Chain A
Amino acid sequence: MCLRHCLTTLSLVFLVTSRLDSPATAADADIDGIEFFEKRIRPVLVQHCFECHATKPKKSKGGLRLDSKRAALAGGDSGPVIMPGKPDESLLIDAVAYGGEFVDMPPSGKLPDRVIADFRTWIALGAPMPDDKTSDGTQPASSPAPQKTVDIEAGRSFWSFQPVSQQPLPNVSNADWPQQRLDWFVLAKLDEQQLEPNPPADRRTLLRRLDLDLTGLPPTPDDVDAFVSDASPDAIERVVDRLLCSPHYGERWGRHWLDVARYAEDNPTGESTCQPPPFPWPYRDWVIRTHNDDLPYDEFVRRQLAADLMDLPPEEIAATGFLGLSPVYHKEPKLSGEVIRVIVADEWDERLDTISRGFLGLTVACARCHDHKFDPITTRDYYALAGVMASTQLVEWPLVNASLADAEALTKTREAIVDYNLRVSYAKAMQTAAEIEKQPTEPFEKLAKEYQKTLDDWKSRKLFDGPIANVVRDAGVWVDDHDPDWTNMVYRAGEPRNLPVFVRGNPNNPGDTVPRRFLEVLSDSPARPFKHGSGRLELADAIVTDAAPLAARVIVNRVWGWHFGQPLVRTPGNFGALGERPSHPELLDDLAARFIASGWSLKWLHREIVLSTTWQQSSRIRDGRPTEVDPDNRLLWRMNRRRLEAEVWRDAVLATIGQLDGHMFGKSDSIDDEKNHRRTIYGTITRQNPADVLRLFDFPDAKRHSDQRTLTTSPLQQLYLLNGPFLQQAADHVVNGPLPGSTDDSDARSDSVQQLFRTILLREPTTDELDASLRLIGDESTQQGWQILAHSLLATNEFLYSD
């Protein structure tokens, strides 16, 4: 998709600065010139000129070929067209500038002025082009650009590809401070800058932080009281164990993962060929369950990519909803095969991007049109993996044992119904057109009837009606355009396919075929082609074995970010050259190595983190040196204050007012529905019209993999808090309960205010706050007054943040 054009402004900046920085030798200039040719000239030649001026056409028009250096400089029937160094004397310039003295090229229309200027620049530079490779000078410039940039061997030495190992503990100024290994690394860095860490958070703050962080729900006032008065040394550890065993843990941490997996229950648009998948939630439920069961992360990865290819109970196939719920775009059958192939290639690209950024922190999708500009990833790597996607079909599948025929009928029938519906309406439209144009209508009438009959037949079939999920299976995917009026998708089970390199990312311009395999830089060289089916299971295995150090670093970094509000590598989906380097490299390696040694246990990782002195610090911002030296808190001299995510905030309100419906799993309910009091993870997630509260509070766009949430602050959020129905109803509920009501007794009123503070903010009001509350309620102490007070407390920043 967008990543097809990875020529960044930045790379141009690099090109320019490299020229300015070093005195240009002739050789340098030539390299830059060739680079200029590759970036600015070759793409134009490929797109606009090669149709007529390259080796392939039966006869090059005007005898001119522009696809090899020798042929281009030799010129055509009119003699040389390129005079190196002399744009004004070059016929090529006159042609593309529609100068009038020669031919006007390309005939389809004049190129933009900037492109013409590029041609002038290029010729002025001496018309540099890469040398022809073969003796007859036919190394075609139309084949993929020469592999001159990516050095796989050198690429292997990049930091994130190195093995991980436990690191020696550094010396620190205060050996009493660390509680966990990670604390040593944090304190050592702080020592370097002579920064003091914050003191520990108070007990109330710490408990609220633990509860919200591990389960996404606030503690009750009683929990707070019990914890504050529990002086036993293992009090914190017992709380952590209790929370990690709570079923709410999976609801909280599963939701983090669903951002990565861009889980949603519909498609970006809703035309007939991209209707919402009917059974999305089994994947969501699988993610929650496996989190609660602490399924080892390596196995968690493998199953999401390839549970259908593993020997597992049939319900486990739900895991592959990771791919089965990928966004799908409309494929109008009346469009040409060329157009549909681009759409299909975009879909594969999105899946590849989600897998590579999600599991490996690599922007493999940047290598769709050309080798990656910065990372050791080639176009061949890209198509080797894209071939896996081209051998994988999105299907509906039973979650219990069923016959293959019953299983296959599910997807086949739905697609046939969509297709014949379209065919019927098309035939009817043709019939109407014929009527108006006074042409014979019978052929279309007949056709419409035939299609209708087939449609009715499909509709009447009885389908498997047990539990079903939207998942994937192995099947080669093709665009079938042999019928010029009707382009169809074709899936062939058991026929995996290798893809050709799409030259410049254009699926209608295939180059060499690449066998399906893993990324070269992360494999033993050379990478072994996948042998089994689509290769999905081999891909999954490679991610958690060959690439284990990288995969472990990536997930440990994500988990760290979800705990701290800021990951160690602040580009969690990019561990490549353009990604950030970790703030604490040894810490990340130590944690990643031990995470693998722990059996890839996420719950182990949570304990390592939340039981650390670092995580348990106060979040208070200290003026002076800490803020001056490290305003972004990269060194962790304090805990980060975190705004609750949209779903945690909504759940916290419902829990606080005692209205949370604890019913787990199953079909989703609309979040905008005022009667829906289930946790937000069970709310409908749409790629088209996200619920108000999610849209306003920065829930990620589920059309693509989300690295991390961007927090925005806007008055519309505050209008929602002040005037939206959700908080008003919540406040109504609070004051309708056993709470205050109307009373003339001022002591009783004060008690009620205190009780409201305890319920909502888990603390006593200050004297000022108590007075202000009583003033807000007013002397009449009406129901409305209490409602306003409860509403106000729920709308505070204090409720919205975790300290």
Chain B
Amino acid sequence: MTELQRQLCSRRQALGSIGAGFGALAMSDLLRTADSSLVGARTHFPQRAKHVIFLFMSGGPSHLDLLDPKPLIKQYAGQRPGEVQLRTERKTGGLLPSPFRFAARGESGIEVSELLPHLAGCADDLCVLRSVVGGNPNHAPAANWLFSGRIDQIHPSLGAWTSYGLGSENQNLPGFVSLKKGSTASRYVRSGYLPGRHQGTPIDVGHDSPEKMIAHLRNESLSTEVQQKQVDFIQQLNRRYQQNAGGDAALEARIEAMETAFRMQFTAGEACDLNRESKTIRESYGEGWFANGCLLARRLVERGVRYIHLEHSRWDHHEHISREIPKMAAEIDQPIAALLRDLKQRGLLEETLVVWGGEFGRTPVSENGDGRDHNHYGFSMWLAGGGIRGGTTYGKTDDFGFKAVEDRVSVHDLHATILHQLGLDHERLTYRYSGRDFRLTDLYGDVIGDILA
């Protein structure tokens, strides 16, 4: 190891152990100049995006019914031509045509399904990747693959790497936030071996009061005034303790974290309070928890949160897909379109990379007669904003949409591209663990140069 590497390592370890909360940055400190301001952090590359909103459609949405029209399926309906003999998780039947119509949208003429009428209106902002290749045909490993580049549950997620690389722009809010309905945390926002503060902070968007959205955010029995007195008292003891200890940096960090915690009760509460939005805005997003999640994502971006994971589920249509998928599409369509328009109108879309996709797509062949099985051989995702060229499609699947055949995009390529837009070099963003340096993209990944604006 060179001396420089050794220094970086020990510096990194030190930061890992004494960081001062959300505002304390690890890698970002190494990248930044002596200037302690959070703006203008020095990155590996010029930064095209400052924020990421990842709209995760858990279960595996069907690209064939949403974004990747394959008219030839109709011609071979019920049959299994040679190209479709790929092995998937379950037993499949013949080719199943999509009952939904596709039409060219916007000036770019990207074909989008009738299931997404609102999103179709934003076609010129989208870059649809039609040749994404996943790593595994089962849900949990495939989703791990999508977020950490490996199928196991150990490696840090994309959001944690982002927070590790860039920190938060807001001292009073976490750098990585996870929005989901329900009290169980998402399994794909972990920090793995990165320091724990880079883990996605869970917000339960199934509720609409901030107190219920963030655990322990408010004290139910004390008024703010009384709690302020309490915190002052605790801090008085903490400062005396720290002085006696001889100025321990870890103790200083805890004192700062207590201040931040106290303030966060109001900043996070304010950020999560959707009632502060105008009626027009709220109506534009529509109703339901997912609409609230999209609106909250925008509010968090405005407040400097780096990475927002918003998880929607129930896309696992092994049966009755033509009946079920319209319900899911209807839940997400208007909110996502409103989010894109709202970001754009506020000038935030340029600096915010929005990513949409599931852990895999679905098979063109049927399962249970009217369902589709998992398909990680080729499926669609889309990107918008953040320096990505809108109004484009990239890559192709075969004639039936089973396998990516042209300009294949691996998950590692996607990660390399997202980090690139954030100004981070996926080969240089590393963390030492278990005797070696690890990175998000393992040994792989190429930035998809063709889709950059």
Contact = CB atoms under 8 A, between A and B. Distances in A.
A707 B2 CA distance: 24
B435 A571 contact: yes
Given A713-B19, A714-B196, A17 B2 contact: yes
A713 B190 CA distance: 16
Interface residues of B, number: 100
Given A720-B216, A769-B236, A798-B241, A578 B250 contact: no
Interface in A352-389: 357, 363, 366
Contact of A713 (B1, B18, B201, B442): B18
A800 B248 CA distance: 14
A263 B213 CA distance: 32
Nearest to B131: A109
Contacts of A109: 404-406, 408
A714 B153 contact: no
A620 B251 contact: no
B435 A366 contact: yes
B138 A712 contact: no
B237 interface: yes
B51 to A, nearest CB: 20
Contact of B434 (A429, A433, A574): A574
Interface string B187-210: 100101101110001000000000
Contact of A718 (B89, B138, B251, B258): B258
A776 interface: yes
A285 B158 CA distance: 38
Contact of B22 (A366, A573, A714, A792): A714
A578 B261 contact: no
Interface in B220-277: 220-222, 226-227, 229-231, 233-234, 236-238, 240-242, 244-248, 250-251, 253-255, 257-258, 260-262, 264-265
A692 B436 contact: no
B369 A796 contact: no
Given A335-B137, A776-B230, A723 B217 contact: yes
A713 B257 contact: yes
Interface string A690-722: 001001101001011001001111111111101
Interface in A209-263: none
A237 B125 CA distance: 74
A373 to B, nearest CB: 9
Given A269-B140, A719-B265, A435 B369 contact: yes
Contacts of A795: 234
B245 A792 contact: no
Interface in A749-771: 766, 768-769
B137 A792 contact: no
Contacts of B21: 713-715
A610 B400 CA distance: 71
Contacts of A13: 2, 5
Interface string B411-453: 0010000000000000110100011111100110010000000
B261 A722 contact: yes
B257 A623 contact: no
Contacts of A410: none
Contact of A701 (B17, B154, B234, B428): B154
Contacts of B240: 766, 768-769
Contacts of A773: 233
B80 interface: no
Contact of A788 (B93, B195, B222): B222
B91 A723 contact: no
Given A619-B245, A719-B265, A798 B250 contact: no
Contacts of A432: 319, 368-369
A460 interface: no
Interface stretch (A4-12, A446-454, A591-599): A4-12
Contacts of B442: 2, 5
Interface in A661-705: 687-689, 692, 695-696, 698, 701, 703-704
Nearest to B184: A689
A70 interface: no
Given A346-B152, A432-B368, A776-B230, A578 B436 contact: yes
Interface in B369-428: 369-370, 404-406, 408, 413, 427-428
Interface string A557-581: 0000000000000010110101100
B329 interface: no
Contacts of A579: 435
Nearest to B229: A776
Contacts of A8: 436-437
B446 A623 contact: no
A773 B236 CA distance: 11
A59 interface: no
Nearest to B236: A772
A351 to B, nearest CB: 14
A8 B196 CA distance: 24
A3 interface: yes
B247 A335 contact: no
Contacts of B29: none
B90 interface: yes
B17 A710 contact: yes
A46 B405 CA distance: 21
Given A707-B434, A712-B19, A715-B264, A797 B242 contact: yes
Contacts of B138: 330, 332, 335
A710 B233 contact: no
A9 B437 contact: yes
Nearest to B247: A621
A719 B192 CA distance: 22
Interface in A22-69: none
B217 A366 contact: no
Contacts of B154: 1-2, 701, 703-704
A436 interface: yes
A336 interface: yes
A584 interface: no
A419 to B, nearest CB: 16
B159 to A, nearest CB: 15
A269 B184 contact: no
B20 interface: yes
Interface in B139-188: 140-141, 150, 152-155, 174, 184-185, 187
Contacts of B238: 796-798
Nearest to B436: A8
A632 interface: yes
B435 A573 contact: yes
Given A722-B216, A723-B218, A3 B434 contact: yes
A523 interface: no
Interface centre among B190, B219, B434, B435 (most CB of A within 10 A): B435
B367 to A, nearest CB: 7
A713 B435 CA distance: 24
Nearest to B155: A2
A723 B22 contact: no
Interface centre among A622, A688, A722 (most CB of B within 10 A): A722
Contact of B257 (A485, A695, A717, A792): A717
A113 interface: yes
A716 B242 CA distance: 21
A366 B221 CA distance: 53
Contact of B446 (A114, A436, A704, A798): A114
A271 B140 CA distance: 10
B313 interface: no
Given A2-B154, A578-B436, A716-B201, A9 B265 contact: no
Given A621-B245, A687-B153, 12 more contacts: A1-B150, A7-B443, A332-B89, A346-B152, A429-B368, A574-B434, A632-B14, A641-B251, A703-B152, A711-B17, A719-B264, A797-B241
24 contacts: A2-B438, A8-B436, A9-B430, A9-B439, A574-B434, A574-B435, A578-B435, A620-B244, A620-B245, A621-B246, A623-B247, A632-B10, A687-B153, A698-B196, A710-B16, A713-B19, A714-B196, A716-B174, A717-B261, A766-B240, A776-B229, A792-B230, A792-B233, A797-B242
The 4 closest A-B pairs by CB, nearest first: A436-B369, A621-B246, A718-B261, A715-B261
